[in-house]
Amino acid sequence: MNNSIKLESIDSKCPNCGNSLKYSPEDVGLKCESCGTREVVEYSVQNKKQPYDNVNDDEIVAWQKSKKHIKCKSCGSTIELENNEISIDCPYCDSQNVVAQKDIKGLNPSFLIKFTFGRKTALAKFKEQVKKKFFVPRPFKKDIPENQIEGFYFPAFSFDADSVSAYSGRLYRYESRGYGDKARTVTVYFNVSGSLAFNHRDVLVESSSRLSQYQLEQMFPYNFDLKVDFKPEYLFGYVVEQYNEQFDKIVDKVEYIFKDQIKSAILRKYHYDGVERLDVNSSFSNEWFGYIMMPVYSFEYNYKKKKYLTYMNGQTGKVGGGLPISKIKVAFCSILALLIVAVPVVLAIIFGE
């Protein structure tokens, strides 16, 4: 255990029987799986987002890079932490180990969105939605394979900002001119300029080793009105990681998303087919952020000798991507789409106009 940092863990022992307490969404509190003892987790909603122009995040990189281990409070085993976990189930005795907050380097989470249902309900929701998805193969829907369900919180940052942008550019659209034999399509260019004000709210950037931003967006939306102040007790029963980059990098990502939002909002004002050029000059104010833990269930299963991993929003139950797709259905729809475009053209060629 040389060169490995030892982290303290907080207790999750049942006061009645000494087994491990886990968070139970249905009970909105902790529950002992052995004797049924319950403990309410009092929630609060006092934290506010904080400004992000002056965040010092120097400690995080060294912490992320270093090896870390924790001694299980129940059985005394040493557990290596692989992915900057701050909450982990002991592989030897199944009790929960949540790293004490004093031992977590970098920013501490301010908010959390709670799981609203347990694993059993998650599986029922999974089956129900998969059956309604058109592109999922029918044999899969009929006999959904054995799943391995895991609940985890992923670290993310939620940003707010207000922007004012001045822009100018040149767009174009296609217009048809003339009739019958003389019908043709022309490209019409036009200049645009103006200003745009935009309120960016709850823009989420993920920072976990398990999810990509794309996979996250497939589970949108989350209802941020229901976020609560972070408490370590919520983590009992889930695998949770500390964020895996430096805060600066996360800010770079959100600025990219902000710019995208601004560009889309500008272009929505016009009727156009293409963009030749669009220069946007933005200034930002009221920049706030919150570090937040987001609930996700993952479903791991095999189908036709292939491994699949599908995610579900742990607040709303919405299933994300990553499901098996029927190639026949996709091919059929592509042909159908082609026909819809092609048939009128062919008819016009045959019968003239």
Residues in contact with Zn ion by CB under 5 A are 14, 16-17, 19, 32, 34-35, 37, 72, 74-75, 77, 90, 92-93
As measured in angstroms, the least distance from the Cβ of 13 to Zn ion is 9
Helices of type H across the chain: 59-65, 119-132, 138-142, 213-217, 247-267, 327-351
Please, what is the minimum distance in Å from the beta carbon of residue 102 to Zn ion? 21
Of 70 and 161, CB closest to Zn ion: 70
C-alpha to C-alpha distance for 280 and 255, rounded to whole angstroms: 13
Q: How far is the CB of 100 from Zn ion (least distance, A)?
A: 16
What contacts 215, CB < 8 A, 6 or more positions away? 311, 320, 321, 322
Collapsing DSSP to helix, strand or coil, 272 comes out as coil
d(CA 151, CA 88): 11
Rounded to the nearest whole angstrom, what is the least distance from the CB of residue 92 to Zn ion in the complex?
Answer: 5
- Tokens describing residue 145: 């394979």
Q: Which residues, at least 6 apart from 175, have a Cβ–Cβ distance to it below 8 Å?
A: 185, 186, 188
Q: How far apart are CA 328 and CA 68, in angstroms?
A: 48
Report, in Å, the least distance between residue 71 CB and Zn ion. 9
Q: Which is nearer to Zn ion, 92 or 332 (CB)?
A: 92
**Residue entry with tokens 């929003």:** 313
Which CB sits closer to Zn ion, 13 or 259? 13
**Strands, sheet with 78-81, edge to edge from the N-terminal-most edge strand:** 4-7, 67-71, 78-81
Kindly state the smallest distance separating residue 21's Cβ from Zn ion, in Å: 8
Cβ distance to Zn ion smaller for residue 237 or 320: 237
Q: Closest distance between Zn ion and the C-beta of residue 74, in Å?
A: 5
| For Zn ion, the closer CB: 17 or 346 | 17
- CB closer to Zn ion out of 14 and 296: 14
Output the six-digit token pair for 165. Answer: 């942008």
**Closer to Zn ion by Cβ: residue 32 or 112:** 32
For 164, 170, 263, the CA distances from 195, given in Å and listed in that order, are 7, 15, 11
Q: Name the nearest CA neighbour of 150 among 179, 108, 115, 176.
A: 115
CA 317 – CA 128 distance, rounded (Å) = 11
Reduce the DSSP state of residue 140 to 3 states and report it. Answer: helix
Q: Is 314 helix (H, G, I), strand (E, B) or coil?
A: coil
The β-bridge relationship of strands 4-7 and 67-71 is: parallel
Q: With respect to Zn ion, which residue has the nearer C-beta, 93 or 164?
A: 93
Q: How far is the CB of 30 from Zn ion (least distance, A)?
A: 10
